[in-house]
Amino acid sequence: MRIVAGEWRGRTLKSPSWPGLRPTSDRLRETLFNILGPAIRGARVLDGYAGTGAIGIEALSRGAAWVCFVDNDRRATALVEANLTALGADRRYAIIRADVTNISDACGGAAFDFAVFDPPYAPEAAAAALDAAGQLAGGDLIVVIEHATRHAPPPRHGDFALARTVTAGDSALSFYERG
């Protein structure tokens, strides 16, 4: 895995040494950040189900003001820390070991511009991620959920409406807005 663009462009990230973690591909991350474009600069970003931290690290590389990495696996939070340390990242981030269902407690009520969730691929994963996102502050919050193309995301869930879905192979990114 490599960082696609920004300050750390081309730098590689450590990958997990255990089974069951499916890092977001370089191609899908590039698609995500091409869509978000310059809005990521100065933004506050949540990387839910952080895994390797690739999403949040890409956001920092592209100028995000602050990123909160959340994962409930101690190995994943250690991997995120190792990747950030290897890059010499300044402290524009927090790494929190917690279940994303308790995200408002984990992130201390912080307001976010973007929340990106990469849950394990399952039929109800998008709905669960949107439930978690509903706890977050930020009226203009954009929620992005990575999911398997075979698991169609709900058109509406709680306060969120599906605005767009893009696919790349067997993975998809669904973008939600409050409203």
The yes-or-no verdict on residue 144 having pLDDT over 70 is yes
Per-residue pLDDT reduced to its tens digit, 94-123:
999 998 887 877 777 778 999 999 988 888
- The whole-number pLDDT of residue 130 equals 94
Mean pLDDT of 131-146: 90
The answer to whether residue 114 sits within a structural domain is: yes
The answer to whether residue 20 sits within a structural domain is: no
138 confidence band (pLDDT: 50, 70, 90): confident
Name residue, tokens 């709900």.
154
Structural element, H or E, at residue 67: strand 66-71
The enclosing domain of 146 has a CATH number of 3.40.50.150
Give, in degrees to the nearest 5, the angle at Cα 137 between 147 and 134: 45
Give just the sign of the alpha carbon dihedral 93, 175, 128, 4.
negative
Cα-flanking dihedrals φ and ψ of residue 65, to 5°?
Answer: -75, -35
- Could you give the number of structural domains in the chain? 1
Q: How far apart are CA 88 and CA 141, in angstroms?
A: 29
Cα-flanking dihedrals φ and ψ of residue 29, to 5°?
Answer: -65, -40
142-148, strands of its sheet edge to edge: 93-97, 66-71, 44-48, 114-117, 142-148, 171-178, 160-168, 156-157
DSSP string, 121-149: S-TTHHHHHHHHHTTSB-TT-EEEEEEET
Q: How far apart are CA 102 and CA 106, in angstroms?
A: 6
The answer to whether residue 82 sits within a structural domain is: yes
Q: How far apart are CA 143 and CA 46, in angstroms?
A: 9
The answer to whether residue 133 sits within a structural domain is: yes
The answer to whether residue 3 sits within a structural domain is: no
The answer to whether residue 6 sits within a structural domain is: no
Least confident of 22-31, 89-98, 152-161, 168-177: 22-31
Domain that holds residue 94: 26-178
Name residue, tokens 């040494």.
17
